[in-house]
Amino acid sequence: MEAGPLSPPDALRGLAEIANRDDALKARTEGLTWVLWGFVNLGVAMTYLALLPEEAFLGAPDLASPAVLLVGLYPLTGILATVGLWRSAALSFPTGMSFRRGLLFFTAFLVIVTVLSLGFLPFVGWEQGVLGKSVAVGLFLLGFGALNPLGFTRSGRGSAFALGAIALLGGAAGLAAGLTGTASVLLATGTLGWAWVAVGLWALYHG
């Protein structure tokens, strides 16, 4: 259907409004965020697998172990990189992401996921703790997609739902199959690492 007469000022205003939208850049920033956190998850899993014997996955972690300390560097780097990424994007479109707000947001993300993961421990035990973490991250992402605290695009919210479902189903399937040790870490690596990288790359090149 054709619209009625359009005055030149109205036409120009409409063009300026749409030309100022940066949805593509926003979608790519979201994609890069997924890729970053995919690598964080992969880094955590690979470090555990490389530095710790399988028995280490079957009990409570030794918090003073170099591997545990090294693992902590990944989320820390992930937070700083993500905040930096969104602050850079703020030069082109309003992200509302100051350094302080970003730090608070992503630290809250880690705290929520950690609390949820620990909450699952009484039910799954340390030997399946990583699968409990998968379920926790899945729940978090479903909540993230529903509440959309960072104002993601429709595609970005769709990605959050898809990744949340993958993590949730992956973790639940591993728990149902009784996976422990290396097998559980590898499953979690796939659902929390490679899936995020794949979805992020898709958004990055498809945005």
Q: Which residues contribute to the site for another protein (CB under 8 A)?
A: 2-3, 5-9, 11-12, 14-24, 27, 153-155, 198, 202, 205-207
Cβ 89 to another protein shortest distance, Å: 15
Q: CB-wise, 19 or 64, nearer to another protein?
A: 19
Cα–Cα distance, 172 to 21 (Å, whole number): 40
Which three-class secondary structure string do you get for the chain? Answer: CCCCCCCHHHHHHHHHHHHCCCHHHHHHHHHHHHHHHHHHHHHHHHHHHHHCCHHHHHCCCCCCCHHHHHHHHHHHHHHHHHHHHHHHHCCCCCCCCCHHHHHHHHHHHHHHHHHHHHHHHHHHCHHHHHHHHHHHHHHHHHHHHHHCCCCCCHHHHHHHHHHHHHHHHHHHHHHHHCCCHHHHHHHHHHHHHHHHHHHHHHHHHHC
Q: CB-wise, 137 or 203, nearer to another protein?
A: 203
Cβ 57 to another protein shortest distance, Å: 32
Cβ 202 to another protein shortest distance, Å: 5
Q: CB-wise, 45 or 199, nearer to another protein?
A: 199
Contact (CB, 8 A) for 41 and 199: no
Q: CB-wise, 15 or 146, nearer to another protein?
A: 15
Q: CB-wise, 63 or 205, nearer to another protein?
A: 205
Q: Which token pair is 173?
A: 């399937």
Cα–Cα distance, 145 to 166 (Å, whole number): 13
Cβ 25 to another protein shortest distance, Å: 8
Cβ 155 to another protein shortest distance, Å: 7
Cβ 64 to another protein shortest distance, Å: 43
Q: CB-wise, 27 or 136, nearer to another protein?
A: 27
